[in-house]
Protein backbone atom coordinates (compact mmCIF):
# COMPACT_ATOMS: atom_id res chain seq x y z
CA UNK A 1 0.00 0.00 0.00
CA UNK A 2 1.49 3.36 -1.00
CA UNK A 3 2.06 6.21 1.46
CA UNK A 4 -0.95 8.20 0.23
CA UNK A 5 -3.34 5.31 0.84
CA UNK A 6 -1.81 4.63 4.25
CA UNK A 7 -2.29 8.28 5.17
CA UNK A 8 -5.93 8.25 4.04
CA UNK A 9 -6.72 5.14 6.09
CA UNK A 10 -4.89 6.55 9.11
CA UNK A 11 -6.91 9.77 8.90
CA UNK A 12 -10.16 7.79 8.58
CA UNK A 13 -9.32 5.64 11.60
CA UNK A 14 -8.31 8.59 13.80
CA UNK A 15 -11.36 10.57 12.71
CA UNK A 16 -13.60 7.61 13.32
CA UNK A 17 -12.29 6.83 16.78
CA UNK A 18 -12.45 10.45 17.93
CA UNK A 19 -15.82 11.40 16.46
CA UNK A 20 -17.79 8.16 16.94
CA UNK A 21 -19.09 9.11 20.36
CA UNK A 22 -20.43 12.48 19.35
CA UNK A 23 -21.72 11.70 15.88
CA UNK A 24 -24.64 9.64 14.53
CA UNK A 25 -23.17 7.30 11.94
CA UNK A 26 -25.27 6.30 8.93
CA UNK A 27 -25.44 2.67 7.72
CA UNK A 28 -23.54 3.69 4.58
CA UNK A 29 -20.64 5.15 6.58
CA UNK A 30 -20.58 2.12 8.91
CA UNK A 31 -20.42 -0.21 5.89
CA UNK A 32 -17.54 1.81 4.45
CA UNK A 33 -15.55 1.56 7.70
CA UNK A 34 -16.15 -2.19 7.98
CA UNK A 35 -15.11 -2.72 4.37
CA UNK A 36 -11.85 -0.89 5.06
CA UNK A 37 -10.88 -3.34 7.82
CA UNK A 38 -10.45 -6.15 5.28
CA UNK A 39 -7.68 -4.18 3.58
CA UNK A 40 -5.74 -3.36 6.76
CA UNK A 41 -2.60 -5.38 7.37
CA UNK A 42 -2.77 -4.58 11.11
CA UNK A 43 -5.47 -6.99 12.24
CA UNK A 44 -5.49 -5.72 15.82
CA UNK A 45 -6.28 -2.24 14.52
CA UNK A 46 -8.97 -3.74 12.30
CA UNK A 47 -10.50 -5.42 15.36
CA UNK A 48 -10.77 -2.10 17.16
CA UNK A 49 -12.71 -0.64 14.24
CA UNK A 50 -15.07 -3.61 13.78
CA UNK A 51 -15.81 -3.73 17.51
CA UNK A 52 -16.69 -0.04 17.39
CA UNK A 53 -18.88 -0.42 14.29
CA UNK A 54 -20.75 -3.25 16.01
CA UNK A 55 -21.62 -0.94 18.93
CA UNK A 56 -22.59 1.90 16.60
CA UNK A 57 -24.81 -0.45 14.58
CA UNK A 58 -26.42 -1.66 17.78
CA UNK A 59 -27.13 1.93 18.84
CA UNK A 60 -28.99 2.75 15.60
CA UNK A 61 -30.64 -0.68 15.22
CA UNK A 62 -28.70 -1.55 12.07
CA UNK A 63 -28.68 -5.38 11.85
CA UNK A 64 -26.49 -5.64 8.73
CA UNK A 65 -23.86 -3.50 10.41
CA UNK A 66 -23.72 -5.87 13.40
CA UNK A 67 -23.50 -8.94 11.15
CA UNK A 68 -20.80 -7.41 8.94
CA UNK A 69 -18.81 -6.31 12.00
CA UNK A 70 -18.85 -9.85 13.39
CA UNK A 71 -17.76 -11.19 9.99
CA UNK A 72 -14.86 -8.71 10.04
CA UNK A 73 -13.96 -9.90 13.56
CA UNK A 74 -13.96 -13.49 12.27
CA UNK A 75 -11.57 -12.56 9.48
CA UNK A 76 -9.15 -11.04 12.00
CA UNK A 77 -9.30 -13.85 14.57
CA UNK A 78 -8.73 -16.53 11.92
CA UNK A 79 -5.76 -14.58 10.59
CA UNK A 80 -4.32 -14.24 14.10
CA UNK A 81 -4.89 -17.93 14.92
CA UNK A 82 -7.24 -17.08 17.81
CA UNK A 83 -9.45 -20.17 17.33
CA UNK A 84 -11.39 -19.90 20.60
CA UNK A 85 -12.38 -16.27 19.94
CA UNK A 86 -13.14 -17.10 16.32
CA UNK A 87 -15.47 -19.94 17.35
CA UNK A 88 -17.32 -17.74 19.85
CA UNK A 89 -17.70 -15.03 17.21
CA UNK A 90 -18.95 -17.54 14.62
CA UNK A 91 -21.55 -18.82 17.08
CA UNK A 92 -22.63 -15.27 17.90
CA UNK A 93 -22.95 -14.41 14.20
CA UNK A 94 -24.95 -17.58 13.48
CA UNK A 95 -27.41 -16.93 16.33
CA UNK A 96 -27.82 -13.28 15.27
CA UNK A 97 -28.36 -14.16 11.58
CA UNK A 98 -30.70 -17.06 12.39
CA UNK A 99 -33.11 -14.70 14.13
CA UNK A 100 -33.17 -12.51 11.01
CA UNK A 101 -33.51 -15.47 8.58
CA UNK A 102 -30.29 -14.26 6.96
CA UNK A 103 -28.96 -17.28 5.04
CA UNK A 104 -25.85 -15.43 3.85
CA UNK A 105 -24.44 -14.60 7.29
CA UNK A 106 -25.57 -17.96 8.70
CA UNK A 107 -23.54 -19.53 5.90
CA UNK A 108 -20.54 -17.29 6.68
CA UNK A 109 -20.64 -18.44 10.30
CA UNK A 110 -20.74 -22.12 9.25
CA UNK A 111 -17.89 -21.63 6.77
CA UNK A 112 -15.77 -20.13 9.56
CA UNK A 113 -16.71 -22.96 11.96
CA UNK A 114 -15.60 -25.56 9.42
CA UNK A 115 -12.15 -23.93 9.15
CA UNK A 116 -11.81 -23.65 12.93
CA UNK A 117 -12.65 -27.34 13.41
CA UNK A 118 -10.10 -28.26 10.73
CA UNK A 119 -7.34 -26.15 12.32
CA UNK A 120 -7.99 -27.98 15.61
CA UNK A 121 -7.83 -31.41 13.93
CA UNK A 122 -11.56 -32.25 13.95
CA UNK A 123 -11.71 -33.03 10.25
CA UNK A 124 -14.91 -35.08 10.22
CA UNK A 125 -16.75 -32.29 12.03
CA UNK A 126 -15.20 -29.74 9.66
CA UNK A 127 -16.46 -31.55 6.55
CA UNK A 128 -19.91 -32.07 8.05
CA UNK A 129 -20.15 -28.35 8.85
CA UNK A 130 -18.94 -27.49 5.34
CA UNK A 131 -21.72 -29.64 3.85
CA UNK A 132 -24.29 -27.87 6.06
CA UNK A 133 -22.99 -24.52 4.83
CA UNK A 134 -23.25 -25.59 1.18
CA UNK A 135 -26.90 -26.65 1.51
CA UNK A 136 -27.73 -23.36 3.22
CA UNK A 137 -25.80 -21.13 0.80
CA UNK A 138 -27.43 -22.65 -2.29
CA UNK A 139 -30.64 -20.88 -1.19
CA UNK A 140 -29.11 -17.37 -0.95
CA UNK A 141 -31.13 -15.08 -3.21
CA UNK A 142 -28.42 -12.52 -4.02
CA UNK A 143 -26.22 -13.96 -6.78
CA UNK A 144 -22.95 -12.31 -5.71
CA UNK A 145 -23.42 -13.41 -2.09
CA UNK A 146 -24.27 -16.96 -3.23
CA UNK A 147 -21.27 -17.22 -5.56
CA UNK A 148 -18.84 -15.79 -3.00
CA UNK A 149 -20.16 -18.17 -0.31
CA UNK A 150 -19.91 -21.26 -2.52
CA UNK A 151 -16.44 -20.17 -3.58
CA UNK A 152 -15.40 -19.95 0.07
CA UNK A 153 -16.87 -23.40 0.78
CA UNK A 154 -14.83 -25.10 -1.95
CA UNK A 155 -11.71 -23.16 -0.98
CA UNK A 156 -12.29 -24.30 2.61
CA UNK A 157 -12.56 -27.95 1.54
CA UNK A 158 -9.23 -27.66 -0.23
CA UNK A 159 -7.72 -26.27 2.99
CA UNK A 160 -9.28 -29.07 5.08
CA UNK A 161 -7.81 -31.73 2.76
CA UNK A 162 -4.44 -29.96 2.80
CA UNK A 163 -4.41 -30.03 6.62
CA UNK A 164 -5.02 -33.80 6.40
CA UNK A 165 -1.96 -34.21 4.15
CA UNK A 166 -4.16 -35.22 1.21
CA UNK A 167 -2.42 -35.37 -2.17
CA UNK A 168 -2.46 -31.99 -4.01
CA UNK A 169 -3.97 -33.78 -7.03
CA UNK A 170 -7.10 -34.18 -4.88
CA UNK A 171 -7.22 -30.64 -3.53
CA UNK A 172 -6.68 -28.77 -6.79
CA UNK A 173 -10.16 -29.61 -8.10
CA UNK A 174 -11.66 -27.70 -5.16
CA UNK A 175 -9.32 -24.74 -5.75
CA UNK A 176 -10.43 -24.56 -9.40
CA UNK A 177 -14.11 -24.99 -8.47
CA UNK A 178 -13.76 -22.08 -6.04
CA UNK A 179 -12.32 -19.86 -8.78
CA UNK A 180 -15.23 -20.77 -11.09
CA UNK A 181 -17.69 -19.34 -8.56
CA UNK A 182 -15.62 -16.24 -7.80
CA UNK A 183 -15.42 -15.37 -11.52
CA UNK A 184 -19.24 -15.22 -11.63
CA UNK A 185 -19.36 -12.33 -9.13
CA UNK A 186 -20.46 -9.13 -10.91
CA UNK A 187 -19.21 -6.61 -8.34
CA UNK A 188 -15.66 -5.90 -9.55
CA UNK A 189 -14.17 -5.08 -6.14
CA UNK A 190 -15.63 -8.21 -4.52
CA UNK A 191 -14.63 -10.39 -7.48
CA UNK A 192 -11.05 -9.10 -7.44
CA UNK A 193 -10.80 -9.54 -3.65
CA UNK A 194 -11.92 -13.17 -3.63
CA UNK A 195 -9.97 -14.10 -6.76
CA UNK A 196 -6.79 -12.63 -5.27
CA UNK A 197 -7.16 -14.85 -2.20
CA UNK A 198 -7.88 -17.97 -4.22
CA UNK A 199 -5.18 -17.34 -6.83
CA UNK A 200 -2.68 -17.35 -3.94
CA UNK A 201 -4.04 -20.69 -2.70
CA UNK A 202 -3.93 -22.14 -6.22
CA UNK A 203 -0.33 -20.99 -6.55
CA UNK A 204 0.59 -22.88 -3.34
CA UNK A 205 -1.11 -26.02 -4.67
CA UNK A 206 0.91 -25.89 -7.89
CA UNK A 207 4.07 -25.57 -5.78
CA UNK A 208 3.08 -28.80 -3.99
CA UNK A 209 2.64 -30.37 -7.45
CA UNK A 210 6.19 -29.21 -8.42
CA UNK A 211 4.62 -27.29 -11.31
CA UNK A 212 6.29 -23.91 -10.89
CA UNK A 213 5.23 -22.04 -14.05
CA UNK A 214 1.50 -21.89 -13.10
CA UNK A 215 2.52 -21.39 -9.46
CA UNK A 216 4.34 -18.17 -10.39
CA UNK A 217 1.55 -17.14 -12.78
CA UNK A 218 -1.24 -17.38 -10.18
CA UNK A 219 0.84 -15.90 -7.35
CA UNK A 220 1.62 -12.92 -9.56
CA UNK A 221 -2.06 -12.54 -10.52
CA UNK A 222 -2.96 -12.58 -6.81
CA UNK A 223 -0.42 -9.84 -6.12
CA UNK A 224 -1.55 -7.68 -9.03
CA UNK A 225 -5.27 -7.91 -8.18
CA UNK A 226 -4.56 -7.11 -4.51
CA UNK A 227 -2.42 -4.16 -5.49
CA UNK A 228 -5.21 -2.91 -7.76
CA UNK A 229 -7.61 -2.92 -4.76
CA UNK A 230 -5.00 -1.55 -2.28
CA UNK A 231 -5.32 -4.79 -0.29
CA UNK A 232 -1.96 -5.05 1.47
CA UNK A 233 -2.45 -8.35 3.32
CA UNK A 234 -3.34 -10.25 0.14
CA UNK A 235 -0.47 -8.57 -1.67
CA UNK A 236 1.72 -10.22 0.96
CA UNK A 237 0.20 -13.65 0.27
CA UNK A 238 0.89 -13.22 -3.46
CA UNK A 239 4.50 -12.20 -2.72
CA UNK A 240 4.87 -15.17 -0.39
CA UNK A 241 3.74 -17.52 -3.17
CA UNK A 242 6.27 -16.04 -5.59
CA UNK A 243 9.07 -16.34 -3.03
CA UNK A 244 8.15 -19.92 -2.22
CA UNK A 245 8.04 -20.94 -5.90
CA UNK A 246 11.46 -19.40 -6.60
CA UNK A 247 12.84 -21.11 -3.49
CA UNK A 248 11.73 -24.51 -4.81
CA UNK A 249 13.33 -23.61 -8.17
CA UNK A 250 16.65 -22.85 -6.34
CA UNK A 251 16.55 -19.20 -7.47
CA UNK A 252 17.69 -17.79 -4.14
CA UNK A 253 18.02 -14.12 -5.12
CA UNK A 254 14.43 -13.91 -6.42
CA UNK A 255 13.15 -15.82 -3.41
CA UNK A 256 14.88 -13.45 -0.96
CA UNK A 257 13.59 -10.42 -2.89
CA UNK A 258 9.91 -11.46 -2.62
CA UNK A 259 10.18 -12.76 0.94
CA UNK A 260 11.60 -9.43 2.10
CA UNK A 261 8.81 -7.54 0.32
CA UNK A 262 6.19 -9.70 2.09
CA UNK A 263 7.93 -9.68 5.48
CA UNK A 264 7.01 -6.17 6.76
CA UNK A 265 3.35 -6.70 5.82
CA UNK A 266 3.11 -9.98 7.74
CA UNK A 267 4.99 -8.41 10.66
CA UNK A 268 2.44 -5.60 10.77
CA UNK A 269 -0.39 -8.14 10.55
CA UNK A 270 1.23 -10.18 13.36
CA UNK A 271 0.74 -13.32 11.23
CA UNK A 272 3.05 -15.54 13.29
CA UNK A 273 2.39 -18.62 11.18
CA UNK A 274 3.44 -17.05 7.88
CA UNK A 275 6.33 -15.22 9.58
CA UNK A 276 7.66 -18.48 10.96
CA UNK A 277 7.60 -20.04 7.48
CA UNK A 278 9.43 -17.04 5.99
CA UNK A 279 12.08 -16.93 8.74
CA UNK A 280 12.63 -20.66 8.35
CA UNK A 281 12.95 -20.47 4.55
CA UNK A 282 15.30 -17.48 4.73
CA UNK A 283 17.49 -19.32 7.24
CA UNK A 284 17.70 -22.27 4.81
CA UNK A 285 18.64 -19.97 1.91
CA UNK A 286 21.36 -18.11 3.83
CA UNK A 287 22.76 -21.34 5.24
CA UNK A 288 23.21 -22.64 1.66
CA UNK A 289 24.82 -19.32 0.73
CA UNK A 290 27.27 -19.71 3.63
CA UNK A 291 26.21 -16.48 5.34
CA UNK A 292 26.32 -17.74 8.93
CA UNK A 293 25.45 -14.41 10.53
CA UNK A 294 22.17 -13.88 8.64
CA UNK A 295 21.39 -17.61 8.83
CA UNK A 296 21.76 -17.50 12.60
CA UNK A 297 19.50 -14.42 12.82
CA UNK A 298 16.61 -15.93 10.86
CA UNK A 299 17.05 -19.38 12.38
CA UNK A 300 16.76 -17.91 15.87
CA UNK A 301 13.64 -15.91 14.94
CA UNK A 302 12.07 -19.01 13.36
CA UNK A 303 12.65 -21.12 16.47
CA UNK A 304 11.29 -18.39 18.75
CA UNK A 305 8.09 -18.18 16.72
CA UNK A 306 7.83 -21.98 16.50
CA UNK A 307 7.83 -22.13 20.31
CA UNK A 308 5.17 -19.41 20.50
CA UNK A 309 3.02 -21.22 17.91
CA UNK A 310 3.27 -24.56 19.74
CA UNK A 311 2.21 -22.98 23.02
CA UNK A 312 -0.56 -21.04 21.29
CA UNK A 313 -1.91 -24.11 19.44
CA UNK A 314 -1.88 -26.20 22.62
CA UNK A 315 -3.67 -23.47 24.55
CA UNK A 316 -6.29 -22.99 21.80
CA UNK A 317 -6.82 -26.75 21.43
CA UNK A 318 -7.18 -27.26 25.18
CA UNK A 319 -9.77 -24.48 25.33
CA UNK A 320 -11.96 -25.77 22.53
CA UNK A 321 -11.33 -29.47 21.91
CA UNK A 322 -12.71 -30.87 25.19
CA UNK A 323 -16.18 -29.49 24.61
CA UNK A 324 -16.13 -30.66 20.96
CA UNK A 325 -15.13 -34.19 21.97
CA UNK A 326 -17.89 -34.28 24.59
CA UNK A 327 -20.43 -33.13 21.99
CA UNK A 328 -19.29 -35.87 19.61
CA UNK A 329 -19.50 -38.49 22.36
CA UNK A 330 -23.01 -37.39 23.27
CA UNK A 331 -24.10 -37.59 19.63
CA UNK A 332 -22.54 -41.05 19.29
CA UNK A 333 -24.25 -42.36 22.41
CA UNK A 334 -27.56 -40.79 21.39
CA UNK A 335 -27.39 -42.62 18.08
CA UNK A 336 -26.54 -45.85 19.89
CA UNK A 337 -29.52 -45.45 22.24
CA UNK A 338 -31.80 -44.80 19.25
CA UNK A 339 -30.60 -48.03 17.58
CA UNK A 340 -31.01 -50.06 20.76
CA UNK A 341 -34.43 -48.49 21.43
CA UNK A 342 -35.55 -49.29 17.89
CA UNK A 343 -34.46 -52.91 18.24
CA UNK A 344 -36.26 -53.25 21.57
CA UNK A 345 -39.38 -51.63 20.13
CA UNK A 346 -39.34 -53.90 17.09
CA UNK A 347 -38.77 -56.92 19.32
CA UNK A 348 -41.67 -55.88 21.58
CA UNK A 349 -44.03 -55.41 18.64
CA UNK A 350 -42.90 -58.69 17.14
CA UNK A 351 -43.46 -60.57 20.40
CA UNK A 352 -46.90 -58.98 20.80
CA UNK A 353 -48.15 -60.17 17.42
CA UNK A 354 -46.48 -63.55 17.85
CA UNK A 355 -48.23 -64.16 21.17
CA UNK A 356 -51.53 -62.95 19.75
CA UNK A 357 -51.15 -65.28 16.78
CA UNK A 358 -50.35 -68.33 18.84
CA UNK A 359 -53.12 -67.64 21.36
CA UNK A 360 -55.62 -67.69 18.53
CA UNK A 361 -54.61 -71.26 17.67
CA UNK A 362 -54.43 -72.26 21.35
CA UNK A 363 -51.19 -74.16 20.67
CA UNK A 364 -49.22 -73.38 23.80
CA UNK A 365 -46.38 -75.79 23.15
CA UNK A 366 -45.68 -74.53 19.62
CA UNK A 367 -46.01 -70.95 20.87
CA UNK A 368 -43.35 -71.47 23.56
CA UNK A 369 -40.92 -73.10 21.11
CA UNK A 370 -41.22 -70.25 18.60
CA UNK A 371 -40.85 -67.63 21.33
CA UNK A 372 -37.74 -69.37 22.68
CA UNK A 373 -36.20 -69.46 19.19
CA UNK A 374 -37.07 -65.83 18.71
CA UNK A 375 -35.57 -64.85 22.07
CA UNK A 376 -32.32 -66.62 21.20
CA UNK A 377 -32.18 -64.88 17.83
CA UNK A 378 -32.80 -61.46 19.39
CA UNK A 379 -30.25 -62.11 22.12
CA UNK A 380 -27.64 -63.01 19.49
CA UNK A 381 -28.59 -59.86 17.60
CA UNK A 382 -28.11 -57.70 20.71
CA UNK A 383 -24.82 -59.46 21.54
CA UNK A 384 -23.62 -58.84 18.01
CA UNK A 385 -24.51 -55.15 18.33
CA UNK A 386 -22.66 -54.93 21.64
CA UNK A 387 -19.57 -56.52 20.09
CA UNK A 388 -19.74 -54.02 17.22
CA UNK A 389 -19.98 -51.11 19.66
CA UNK A 390 -17.04 -52.26 21.77
CA UNK A 391 -14.82 -53.47 18.95
CA UNK A 392 -12.93 -50.17 18.90
CA UNK A 393 -9.66 -51.56 17.60
CA UNK A 394 -11.21 -53.01 14.45
CA UNK A 395 -13.04 -49.73 13.90
CA UNK A 396 -9.79 -47.77 14.15
CA UNK A 397 -8.12 -50.00 11.56
CA UNK A 398 -10.95 -49.43 9.12
CA UNK A 399 -10.90 -45.65 9.71
CA UNK A 400 -7.15 -45.59 9.09
CA UNK A 401 -7.35 -47.72 5.95
CA UNK A 402 -10.05 -45.53 4.46
CA UNK A 403 -8.10 -42.37 5.44
CA UNK A 404 -11.23 -41.25 7.32
CA UNK A 405 -11.14 -37.70 8.72
CA UNK A 406 -12.48 -38.92 12.12
CA UNK A 407 -9.54 -41.31 12.65
CA UNK A 408 -7.51 -39.08 15.03
CA UNK A 409 -10.56 -38.05 17.09
CA UNK A 410 -11.54 -41.73 17.56
CA UNK A 411 -7.93 -42.71 18.29
CA UNK A 412 -7.83 -40.19 21.17
CA UNK A 413 -10.84 -41.95 22.75
CA UNK A 414 -9.48 -45.49 22.31
CA UNK A 415 -5.88 -44.75 23.36
CA UNK A 416 -6.19 -41.78 25.74
CA UNK A 417 -3.16 -42.79 27.86
CA UNK A 418 -0.85 -43.07 24.84
CA UNK A 419 -2.15 -39.84 23.25
CA UNK A 420 -1.93 -37.75 26.46
CA UNK A 421 1.54 -39.11 27.28
CA UNK A 422 2.74 -38.32 23.75
CA UNK A 423 1.52 -34.70 23.71
CA UNK A 424 2.80 -34.19 27.28
CA UNK A 425 6.32 -35.42 26.48
CA UNK A 426 6.40 -33.94 22.98
CA UNK A 427 4.14 -30.86 22.92
CA UNK A 428 5.68 -29.62 19.67
CA UNK A 429 4.02 -32.38 17.61
CA UNK A 430 1.43 -31.14 15.11
CA UNK A 431 -1.94 -32.82 14.47
CA UNK A 432 -0.52 -34.33 11.26
CA UNK A 433 2.45 -35.81 13.15
CA UNK A 434 0.15 -37.12 15.89
CA UNK A 435 -1.93 -38.89 13.24
CA UNK A 436 1.28 -40.39 11.79
CA UNK A 437 2.28 -41.62 15.29
CA UNK A 438 -1.17 -43.17 15.67
CA UNK A 439 -0.68 -45.20 12.46
CA UNK A 440 2.69 -46.44 13.77
CA UNK A 441 1.06 -47.31 17.10
CA UNK A 442 -1.42 -49.51 15.18
CA UNK A 443 1.63 -51.19 13.55
CA UNK A 444 0.98 -50.06 9.98
CA UNK A 445 3.98 -50.69 7.69
CA UNK A 446 5.61 -48.04 5.54
CA UNK A 447 3.99 -49.43 2.41
CA UNK A 448 0.56 -49.58 4.08
CA UNK A 449 0.80 -45.96 5.26
CA UNK A 450 1.85 -44.86 1.78
CA UNK A 451 -0.97 -46.86 0.17
CA UNK A 452 -3.79 -45.74 2.45
CA UNK A 453 -2.69 -42.07 2.49
CA UNK A 454 -2.07 -41.93 -1.28
CA UNK A 455 1.54 -40.79 -0.92
CA UNK A 456 4.87 -42.27 -1.94
CA UNK A 457 6.91 -44.71 0.17
CA UNK A 458 9.74 -42.17 0.02
CA UNK A 459 7.49 -39.52 1.58
CA UNK A 460 6.64 -41.91 4.44
CA UNK A 461 10.33 -42.71 5.02
CA UNK A 462 11.09 -38.96 5.06
CA UNK A 463 8.40 -38.37 7.70
CA UNK A 464 9.80 -41.28 9.75
CA UNK A 465 13.33 -39.83 9.65
CA UNK A 466 12.04 -36.38 10.67
CA UNK A 467 10.06 -37.95 13.51
CA UNK A 468 13.11 -39.88 14.73
CA UNK A 469 15.11 -36.65 14.91
CA UNK A 470 12.29 -34.78 16.62
CA UNK A 471 11.69 -37.53 19.21
CA UNK A 472 15.43 -38.35 19.50
CA UNK A 473 14.95 -42.03 18.56
CA UNK A 474 18.02 -43.93 17.36
CA UNK A 475 17.94 -45.30 13.80
CA UNK A 476 18.55 -48.87 15.06
CA UNK A 477 15.28 -48.86 17.02
CA UNK A 478 12.14 -50.04 15.25
CA UNK A 479 9.80 -46.98 15.16
CA UNK A 480 6.62 -49.09 15.20
CA UNK A 481 7.80 -51.05 18.25
CA UNK A 482 8.82 -47.82 19.99
CA UNK A 483 5.30 -46.43 19.51
CA UNK A 484 3.63 -49.68 20.67
CA UNK A 485 5.82 -49.81 23.81
CA UNK A 486 5.52 -46.05 24.57
Tell me how far apart the alpha carbons of residues 389 and 414 are, in angstroms, rounded to a whole number.
12
DSSP assignments along 356-388, one per residue: HHHHHHT-HHHHHHHHHHHHHHHHHHHHHHHHH
Each domain of the chain, given as residue ranges in start order, spans: 320-485
Whether the pLDDT of residue 138 is over 80: the answer is yes
pLDDT tens readout for residues 439-463: 999 999 999 999 988 888 888 888 8
Whether the pLDDT of residue 338 is over 80: the answer is no
Tell me how far apart the alpha carbons of residues 140 and 108 are, in angstroms, rounded to a whole number.
11
Which one, of 182, 17, 103, 167, lies nearest residue 9 by Cα?
17
Tell me how far apart the alpha carbons of residues 336 and 342 are, in angstroms, rounded to a whole number.
10
Contacts 24+ apart (CB under 8 A), 2-6: 5/230
Q: What is the largest CA-CA distance in the chain?
A: 99
- C-alpha distances (whole Å) from 445 to each of 401, 407, 436, 440, 471 are 12, 17, 11, 8, 19
Which one, of 30, 29, 48, lies nearest residue 40 by Cα?
48
In Å, how far from its chain's centre is CA 220? Answer: 25
Cβ proximity of 205 and 158 under 8 Å: yes
pLDDT of residue 422: 92
DSSP alpha helices (H): ranges in 139-211?
143-163, 168-183, 188-208
Percent of residues, the chain, with pLDDT higher than 70: 84
Query: What are the backbone dihedrals phi and psi of residue 249, each rounded to the nearest 5 degrees, phi first?
Result: -90, 5
Query: What are the backbone dihedrals phi and psi of residue 42, each rounded to the nearest 5 degrees, phi first?
Result: -80, 100
Q: What share of the chain is helix, strand, coil (3-state, %, to 5)?
A: 85, 0, 15
Query: What are the backbone dihedrals phi and psi of residue 117, each rounded to the nearest 5 degrees, phi first?
Result: -60, -40
pLDDT of residue 216: 96
pLDDT of residue 416: 94
pTM summary value: 0.62
- C-alpha distances (whole Å) from 6 to each of 31, 52, 232 are 19, 20, 10
Q: Read off the DSSP letter of residue 137.
A: H
Cβ proximity of 62 and 96 under 8 Å: no
Half-sphere exposure of 145 (CA within 13 A, CB side): 15
Cβ proximity of 75 and 41 under 8 Å: no
Cβ proximity of 241 and 233 under 8 Å: no
What does the chain come to in residues?
486
pLDDT of residue 104: 96
Cβ proximity of 155 and 122 under 8 Å: no
Whether the pLDDT of residue 64 is over 70: the answer is yes
Whether the pLDDT of residue 101 is over 70: the answer is yes
pLDDT tens readout for residues 103-133: 999 999 999 999 999 988 899 999 999 999 9
pLDDT tens readout for residues 289-337: 999 999 999 999 999 988 888 887 777 777 676 666 666 666 666 767 7
Phi-psi region of 250 (alpha: psi -120 to 50; beta: other; left: phi over 0): left
Q: How confident is the model at residue 382 (pLDDT cuts 50, 70, 90)?
A: very low
pLDDT of residue 21: 47
Amino acid sequence: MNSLNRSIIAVLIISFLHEAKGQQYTPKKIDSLISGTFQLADRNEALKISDKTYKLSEDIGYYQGKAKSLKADLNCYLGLGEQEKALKTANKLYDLAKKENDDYHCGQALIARALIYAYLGFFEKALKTSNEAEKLCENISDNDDRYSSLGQIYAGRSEIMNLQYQAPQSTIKYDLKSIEYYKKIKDTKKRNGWLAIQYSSLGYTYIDLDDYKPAIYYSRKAYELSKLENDSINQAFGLYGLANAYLEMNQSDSSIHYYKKALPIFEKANDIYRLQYIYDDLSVIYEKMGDDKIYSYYSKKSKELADIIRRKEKMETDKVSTSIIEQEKQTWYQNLYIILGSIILLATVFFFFTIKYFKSYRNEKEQKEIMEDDLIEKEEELNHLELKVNDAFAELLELAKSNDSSFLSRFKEVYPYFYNKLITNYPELTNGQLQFCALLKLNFTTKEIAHYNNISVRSVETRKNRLRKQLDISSDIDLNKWMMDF
